[in-house]
Chains A and B, each alone.
Chain A
């Protein structure tokens, strides 16, 4: 279980820019085995929040605990999937997948075996010896997912993992992620700026608003599981349309209020 209580963060003033209140009193509880999506416009601090949970960013006030232990840095219980894939261009797909295992000192034969197992899971069997530069974006992110799963974390932290992919590839990967998640039932925190993606994947959708970044509300998604085999039905359902429309309404509100207040909308 992840508990975030009263977390605030201010980025100090830089040059002429005033200090920015990036996050204000964020409270959030994520249960074990839950798939939580965090939805929000650009600049609402959702990536900052995820990096804090990952132990990659610091905060000023409040506390984040994983299973009761305060987060003080990266840990073996959490693994991250990055928007920009973050694959080492000089290492083969297999070596990239085994990177987390290599850092833990797993012997070569075992990490090879484990990497190949996960590459099969994400549909990259036969590509083990390729370099990332020889793969398409979708395939590269499959490697990113396999690398995170390879260290068998309790919690997967996914930072807009499909944001850099084209629509068709994204839909395929959403289905595969659902399939994998329904098999492994890990706790997932998934950042996105797409309402459809947030609703399709999540058990709950946490809506964030910018300046200061805070959790505006949390929507329960009552769509049945497993969803992987029924994506088309789900997306065609009235329930799905209602929830996404409601979320979009709120997101649009965030932008229009800002315009009317004479402020630039977030880029």
Chain B
């Protein structure tokens, strides 16, 4: 029997690379692309718009508007006060529901991290909320709370709060235990450890939870209006759908996306303001 040799089993994907100094990157397209992420973003948008336009023109379907018509629809809606009223109505539920979600979600998350009793109380319901298809709750909410603002608010909360609770709790749990020990060694009380170590340490995770919760809250806000309470944005969508005004229907959806993007950008901005240490470069000595 011959001896086993590692060399008899070459790497399948190994290609020797050329040595020597690295070549300077050529200009042109590469330089253009490396300038800003917006270059890529606009290129992607142009490609999607182009395919959309080509498909809509070729297919001539009643409910697929052309890209250009949709953009005109966006402008039409944006200058129409009725649109703004519809967005205001819908956003009432978001403002109230999301506000409640942030306050109680963060408190419950922090409480769950600190007290076993709160965790034991929150945990099973949280698990249920995380796996339940929320839309299935809508008929139940309707029957319990009726057609007014309160059922929309509750739905926004049900959508938004789980991720805020979970992120707040995880945020506290993942604070470096060395910091807690350090603070204890310098004589910190439990309250000081919370204020000076755990809360600042959990802040980035809490902010991420709030941002994710906002996205879910917007989803909840639109879904209940589409499925049950036809007011605000949901009402607009259903109306344009009924009228076969495909361009306006698409335009509403795009406006909703705009709103969500703007809100999330604001939260990202706040996140960077309050937790700037999350992204850092290291200095060598």
Min CB distance B197 to A, Å, is 7
Q: Is B277 an interface residue (CB 8 A)?
A: yes
> Could you say which residues of chain B place their CB within 8 Å of the CB of A121?
none
* A133-B178 CB under 8 A given contacts A56-B185, A74-B184: no
* A134-B187 CB under 8 A given contacts A80-B182, A88-B200: no
Stretch from A99-107, A108-116, A193-201, A220-228 contacting the other chain: A99-107
List B115-143 residues whose CB lies under 8 Å from chain A.
Answer: none
Q: Is B82 an interface residue (CB 8 A)?
A: no
Distance between Cα atoms of A30 and B178 in the complex (Å): 26
- Contact of B187 with A76 in the complex, beta carbons under 8 Å: yes
Q: Is A248 an interface residue (CB 8 A)?
A: no
- Contact of A89 with B186 in the complex, beta carbons under 8 Å: no
The chain A residue sitting closest to B181, CB to CB, is A56
Min CB distance A45 to B, Å, is 17
- Contact of A90 with B187 in the complex, beta carbons under 8 Å: no
- Contact of B275 with A90 in the complex, beta carbons under 8 Å: yes
List B187-218 residues whose CB lies under 8 Å from chain A.
Answer: 187-188, 192, 196-197, 200-201, 203
- Contact of A131 with B280 in the complex, beta carbons under 8 Å: yes
- Contact of B283 with A136 in the complex, beta carbons under 8 Å: yes
Distance between Cα atoms of A54 and B179 in the complex (Å): 15
Q: Is B26 an interface residue (CB 8 A)?
A: no
> Could you say which residues of chain B place their CB within 8 Å of the CB of A90?
200-201, 203, 275, 277
Distance between Cα atoms of A80 and B283 in the complex (Å): 25
Q: Is A55 an interface residue (CB 8 A)?
A: yes
The chain A residue sitting closest to B279, CB to CB, is A133
- Contact of B285 with A82 in the complex, beta carbons under 8 Å: no
- Contact of B185 with A74 in the complex, beta carbons under 8 Å: yes
Q: Is A146 an interface residue (CB 8 A)?
A: no
- Contact of B281 with A134 in the complex, beta carbons under 8 Å: yes
> Could you say which residues of chain A place their CB within 8 Å of the CB of B186?
74, 79, 99-100, 103, 151
* A134-B178 CB under 8 A given contacts A80-B185, A90-B200: no
Distance between Cα atoms of A55 and B184 in the complex (Å): 9
> Could you say which residues of chain B place their CB within 8 Å of the CB of A135?
282-283, 285
The chain A residue sitting closest to B188, CB to CB, is A103
The chain A residue sitting closest to B281, CB to CB, is A134
Interface residues on B, range: 20 to 34
Q: Is A75 an interface residue (CB 8 A)?
A: yes
Q: Is A86 an interface residue (CB 8 A)?
A: yes
- Contact of B284 with A131 in the complex, beta carbons under 8 Å: no
> Could you say which residues of chain B place their CB within 8 Å of the CB of A130?
283
Distance between Cα atoms of A136 and B181 in the complex (Å): 22
Min CB distance A99 to B, Å, is 6
Min CB distance A147 to B, Å, is 8
- Contact of A86 with B184 in the complex, beta carbons under 8 Å: no
Min CB distance B142 to A, Å, is 45
Distance between Cα atoms of A139 and B285 in the complex (Å): 7
Min CB distance A19 to B, Å, is 23
Of B178, B196, B275, B277, most A-chain CB atoms within 10 Å? B277
The 9 A-B residue pairs with the shortest CB-CB distance, nearest first, are A133-B280, A86-B182, A86-B178, A100-B186, A136-B285, A80-B185, A89-B277, A90-B277, A90-B200
- Sample of 6 A–B contacts (CB below 8 Å): A82-B178, A90-B200, A100-B186, A131-B276, A136-B282, A169-B285
- With contacts A75-B187, A85-B178 known, what are 19 further pairs, Cβ within 8 A? A56-B184, A78-B185, A80-B185, A84-B176, A86-B176, A86-B182, A88-B196, A88-B201, A90-B200, A99-B182, A100-B187, A133-B277, A133-B280, A134-B281, A135-B285, A136-B282, A136-B284, A136-B285, A139-B283
